[in-house]
Chains A and B, each alone.
Chain A
Amino acid sequence: MRLAGFYAFAAAVALLPALFPDNYFVVVIGASAGLNVILAVGLNLLMGYAGQISLGHAAFFGVGAYASAILTTRFGWPSLLALAAGLLAAGLLAWGFARPILRLRGHYLAMATLGFGVIAHVVMVQATHWTGGPDGLAGIPPLNVLGWRVEGDLQWYGVIMAAMLLAVWLSLNLVDSQVGRALRAVHGSEFAAQMMGVDTARAKTQAFVVSALFAAFAGSLFAHQQAFVSPDSFNLAVSVELVTMVVLGGLASTFGAVCGAIALTLLQQGLVVFEDYEMLVHGALLMAVMIFMPQGLFVGLTQAVRRLGSALVGSKPPAAA
């Protein structure tokens, strides 16, 4: 029953397009929410469990996207191989970067990761020869999974949802493993974790690399789905959005991150109706949620569902997610 929430979530994801056939909103917004879920769940491993902030996570999203874009368009690599190369690149980058920066704490760590993100974005804009510069790279071929070319909104919905469920499942299992427990110990008190024999530097590096891999994976899918990438999708604002998703959902909860990612994706779609007031409303909502619900939306929501559930049937509801 440990994964009951997961199965309920998977069922909901599979049922949605059947309940709303040919619904643009469900399929397209759903796919974009799915990518955000992968990103947020990955970042949550680092922020929520290991307790390390990253304000530059869009960089890894970008590494995955550009690896796929460049390798498939300029070198004709098969898309799965390019995806693997993107994962490798992001993993190595994160591993190399993790050691020196994860010694830093609090605002110094925020600064270092932020700087990393800005540098990566500048490179995407300036290395025109490879990245196409500010105009981006177009004409990325469709994802080809062993001969199956993923085309059309519904197929993409399926692929991204499958990837998302894989990410959520991995995350749920990871946090309950020995590595996950070590990470939580680091979050609680790094010193105490060390005393208990946890190699804290190793645990933090692992969390950083794994969350970078999640991001690069999402990036690769994103590049193929959009068939186009440009630096705007990987700038500081995106990094901030990712952090917001994790915190909005409530740190240190996989379904919290899922919830935060979906909420923020829907919010951004919903805000479009405010037109010129979009920014103003976005900022005000962000402040309000953080001030009045510092524990995040998910905690508040699950409590409400539990109360409702126990009032109705007098026992724990299965679909708490």
Chain B
Amino acid sequence: MPEQLFQFLVTGITIGSLYALVGLGFALIYNASDVVNFAQGEFVMLGAMTAIALLNAGLPLLVAAVIATLLTVGVGLLLERFAIEPAAGASVVTTIIITIGAAIFLRGVALLLWGKDFHSLKPFSGDAPIQIGGATVLPQSLWVLGVTVVLVALVRAFFNRTLLGKALLACAFNRTAAQAVGINVKVMLRLAYGLSAGLGALAGILIAPITFSSYEAGVMLGLKGFSAAIVGGIGNPMGAVAGGVLLGVLEALGAGLVSSGYKDAIAFLFVLMVLFFEPTGLFGHKASERV
């Protein structure tokens, strides 16, 4: 039994890392623009699908991954420029529908390009499982974990140590004040969209060898990433990371111990429970309402 639990934990942390990266993307965009980007899952799907297509076209993995990530960043920038910027100042519901529209649009593009089939990516370094304790770990899981840790550390360092990162944070706190001290808010907004599209694409490429990818693959991932960001307290990047890992682990435990069919229900039930007791997430700012 303990071995089994350990196995669930490994699976959970792997999938949780993915949720963490997607959640981080949500948090970045929310911070910069107060928009919840429901097309975040589609960035993950685009990253994975583009990398697979490029790899099949004969490019080496690393080159394919880099180009796929850059292309997705480009899509993120286009989304910001042509869908978010023109709707500046719109209500929460309006922006939610705009990003949902963008998600449907991107899914439509993927459907045209790659059809309805499932596609998979070759694992980065073989698929011979490694025995750790009593659990079997796929080498790809280690890739996911390793790269996630590095990416999260980089994002943290970016916010804490670079001028650009601090400028982005300043925009999150108070846009008018940020503008007043000479920060170009528009550029920061694009930076946030580019960054979170890139994070999403990398997450997609990392996970593609474990879960198959298709034009619809982004839907559930986006929802789980949104859940991660909400559980962590929306707008708190490290909270989103913690929320993602927590969600992944609970989901894996639920799937293993209760029922795999109900795993999504278990994950969302957990989110609801968190919101019932902590209406602003586990690590969110306690809101004080302005009248």
A interface with B by C-beta (< 8 Å): 47, 53, 55, 100-101, 103-108, 110-112, 114-116, 118-119, 122-123, 125-126, 189, 191-192, 236, 240, 243-244, 247, 251, 276-287, 290-291, 294
Say how far A302's CB is from chain B's closest CB, in angstroms. Answer: 19
| Among candidates B98, B219, B268, B272, residue contacting A290 with C-beta atoms closer than 8 Å | B98
Q: Flag if A280 contacts B97 (CB, 8 Å).
A: no
A243 contact set on B, CB distance < 8 A? 93, 96-97
Q: Which of the listed residues A47, A125, A279 has the most CB atoms from chain B within 10 Å of its own CB? A: A279
A55 contact set on B, CB distance < 8 A? 96
| Among candidates B230, B268, B287, residue contacting A118 with C-beta atoms closer than 8 Å | B268
Q: Flag if A116 contacts B93 (CB, 8 Å).
A: no
Measured CB to CB, the nearest residue on chain B to A286 is B101
Size range of the chain B interface in the assembly: 35 or more
How far, in whole Å, are A108 and B91 apart by their CA atoms in the complex?
15
Q: Flag if B265 contacts A53 (CB, 8 Å).
A: no
Measured CB to CB, the nearest residue on chain B to A292 is B86
The reply on B279 being an interface residue by CB < 8 A is yes
| Among candidates B92, B104, B272, residue contacting A112 with C-beta atoms closer than 8 Å | B272
| Among candidates B97, B106, B289, B291, residue contacting A247 with C-beta atoms closer than 8 Å | B97
Q: Flag if B271 contacts A287 (CB, 8 Å).
A: no
How far, in whole Å, are A287 and B109 apart by their CA atoms in the complex?
15
Say how far B85's CB is from chain A's closest CB, in angstroms. Answer: 10
Say how far B147's CB is from chain A's closest CB, in angstroms. Answer: 27
B289 contact set on A, CB distance < 8 A? 191
Say how far B75's CB is from chain A's closest CB, in angstroms. Answer: 13
The reply on B227 being an interface residue by CB < 8 A is yes
Say how far A207's CB is from chain B's closest CB, in angstroms. Answer: 15
How far, in whole Å, are A112 and B291 apart by their CA atoms in the complex?
24
B271 contact set on A, CB distance < 8 A? 111-112, 115
Q: Flag if B101 contacts A287 (CB, 8 Å).
A: yes
| Among candidates A122, A277, A294, residue contacting B262 with C-beta atoms closer than 8 Å | A122
| Among candidates B94, B100, B230, residue contacting A107 with C-beta atoms closer than 8 Å | B230
Q: Flag if B234 contacts A107 (CB, 8 Å).
A: yes
Q: Flag if A294 contacts B91 (CB, 8 Å).
A: yes
CB proximity to A under 8 Å, residues B100-138: 100-109, 111-112
| Among candidates B83, B104, B279, residue contacting A103 with C-beta atoms closer than 8 Å | B279
Given known pairs A53-B92, A240-B100, the reply for A287 and B105 (CB within 8 Å) is yes
Say how far A72's CB is from chain B's closest CB, in angstroms. Answer: 26
How far, in whole Å, are A279 and B113 apart by their CA atoms in the complex?
13
Q: Flag if B83 contacts A291 (CB, 8 Å).
A: yes
Q: Flag if A251 contacts B93 (CB, 8 Å).
A: yes
Q: Flag if A290 contacts B92 (CB, 8 Å).
A: no
CB proximity to A under 8 Å, residues B232-287: 234, 259, 261-262, 264-265, 268-269, 271-272, 275-276, 279-281, 287
Q: Flag if B223 contacts A118 (CB, 8 Å).
A: yes
Say how far B116's CB is from chain A's closest CB, in angstroms. Answer: 10
Additional A-B contact list (12), CB under 8 Å, known A110-B92, A287-B101: A53-B92, A100-B276, A111-B227, A115-B269, A118-B223, A122-B261, A126-B265, A276-B111, A286-B98, A287-B105, A290-B87, A294-B90
Say how far B131's CB is from chain A's closest CB, in angstroms. Answer: 33
Given known pairs A103-B279, A115-B268, A283-B103, the reply for A247 and B93 (CB within 8 Å) is yes
Say how far B140's CB is from chain A's closest CB, in angstroms. Answer: 27
How far, in whole Å, are A3 and B230 apart by their CA atoms in the complex?
43
The reply on B172 being an interface residue by CB < 8 A is no
Q: Flag if A280 contacts B92 (CB, 8 Å).
A: no
B269 contact set on A, CB distance < 8 A? 115, 119
| Among candidates B103, B111, B259, B279, residue contacting A108 with C-beta atoms closer than 8 Å | B279
Say how far B225's CB is from chain A's closest CB, in angstroms. Answer: 11
Q: Flag if A281 contacts B108 (CB, 8 Å).
A: yes
A115 contact set on B, CB distance < 8 A? 227, 268-269, 271-272
Q: Flag if B261 contacts A125 (CB, 8 Å).
A: yes
B36 contact set on A, CB distance < 8 A? 107, 110
Q: Flag if A107 contacts B101 (CB, 8 Å).
A: no
A284 contact set on B, CB distance < 8 A? 101, 105
The reply on B226 being an interface residue by CB < 8 A is yes
Q: Flag if A283 contacts B101 (CB, 8 Å).
A: yes
